[in-house]
Structure formats: C-alpha cells, structure tokens
Amino acid sequence: MTDMPDRRLLLVHAHPDDESINNGATMARYAAEGAHVTLVTCTLGERGEVIPPELGHLSGAALGGHRLAELKDAMGALGVADFRLLGGAGRYCDSGMMGLPDNDDPACFWRADVDQAAGLLAEVIREVRPHVLVTYDDNGGYGHPDHIQAHRVAMRAVELAAGTGWDIPKVYWNRVPRSVADASFARLHADLPGLPFERAATVDDVPGVVPDEQVTTAIDGTAHAAAKAAAMRAHATQITVAEPYFVLSNALAQPLFTTEYYELVRGERPEERENDLFAGLVPGEAS
C-alpha cells in the first residue's frame, strides 16, 4: 500500500454477515472518517442455513458464491473497499456448528493448521500495517468452531507479524455490556407485538455479553445506523431486518446495536471507557 491513511483498522471474521452484525456501524463510521478499513473473512459460510424460501436451493459452493456477492453488497453499504478472503476464496470452508460431522471435513477452517492460516493473515497485516485489529474472544463469542478458530488465527497472526515487520498497537475483542443487552431486550419484549417476528431471543443468545466493567470501549455509530442496517439486509440469506431488530435463521428477534462495544486486550487498558478505537495513538507515529 502507498499513501496509507494515519488510521488503519483490520477486522477478522469467520463468515460473511458476521462483520455487519458485530461491527457494521464501527466500520461505516471509520470508513466515512477516512480511516483505511480492511476486512478479512475466513470462510464463505457454505454451511449456513438459508432463510428465504426462494434461495433455499443454495448449498455448498453455490451458497458460498452467493454469500460472497452478498458480502460485496454489504461492503458497498458500509463504504469499505478493502475486503478479502483468507488465503483467497475457497481456501477454507465453513465448519458448520460445533459437534456436527461437518467439523471433521479436512478442508474446513476448524481443521486448518493455525500457524499456516495465521501466516496468511500475517501477510495481510504486514501489507496493511493496521493500528487496530478487531476479532472475537477465545470462545468465538458463542462457541462456533469457525469463530473460535478465527480468534486463534488472528491472535497468532498478531504475534507472527510483530516478529516479522509490524507490531499492531491495539487489539480488541467484540463485546456487549450486560446492562446494555438487558435494557435492549426489555425494549424488544415491549415492541414485539408490533414486529413481524413472533418470538424473541434471550440475552444468552447474543455473542460476547460480559459484565459492564469488562468493556473498555464504546463506538457510537448511531449516525451510521442506516448503513449498518443496509449491510445486514445485503446478507439476505442469513438475516431479516426490521429496524431496530433482526432475526437469523432461528427466527428469534434480537436488537440491532448501533453503538458497538469492545474490550481492549492488547495495548494499555484505559482507566475510563474509550469512545475511539484509535484512542491514545499518535497519528502517523507508527506508519
């Protein structure tokens, strides 16, 4: 890359749609502010459950190709031009939910050699030289094998890149404060009779919910709520949106968060909650 912006953000996700649900408002905000935003997606989500009946025939490689097209549309909605598949499209396939026979497919991401996959990601890190990396916690947010593996690969890639040319100053994991989740679900239950969804999820269905004090950073993306909703709608095989709520294939309504939350796990932990992923970094000092 040449003429790199002073702020560079890299996000590592397991499947198309994860980025829009977890970080869509954050991505849209920083892209609009002129930061360089890079997304690396580890699989095409070939084993995802398809919601619209008219697309129910899609599976395997055909579904993966369709979800790649959805990802392109979602990135257009968020204003993100730099998005990549780890190792190229089809290098690693979706592993399915934990405990299924799909986990045993030697081509699936869950079975990937972590150092090899991390080496591929480290190449991106050395090229892009991000100041901030965002990914999942060590449980992948909710225990999906591809999310857990994305965490392992991302954290190992940070180590590899630090030893071979680029030390990422700040690494964050996706989080949701318990108080925010509780309040959002209380509103959801009050609003449910007027929604096109029959049932609500629970707080336990939301990935990454932790005690409030564990959250270090809150990114207010309310000005980019429409962009996030549009990006989520672009993933039509996986998500149905009725702002400010959505459902996945389980048909259980969840809140659509436009303020997105994080825990800083690499870098100096702030005394008070940050409102900027780049807080504490001097523009240009590490470029």
* Annotated binding-site members: 15, 18, 147
Handedness of CA 37, 151, 16, 142 (dihedral sign): negative
Binding residues for Zn(2+): 15, 18, 147
Sign of the Cα torsion 73, 78, 82, 87 reads: negative
Token look-up 């590490």 returns 286
C-alpha distances in Å from residue 223, one per residue of 18, 71, 128, 220: 20, 22, 27, 8
Question: The tokens 């972590």 sit on which residue?
Answer: 114
Rounded Cα distance between 150 and 101, Å, is 20
* Rg over CA atoms, the chain: 18
- What backbone phi and psi angles, to 5 degrees, belong to 219? -105, 110
Nearest to 219 by CA among 263, 261, 175: 261
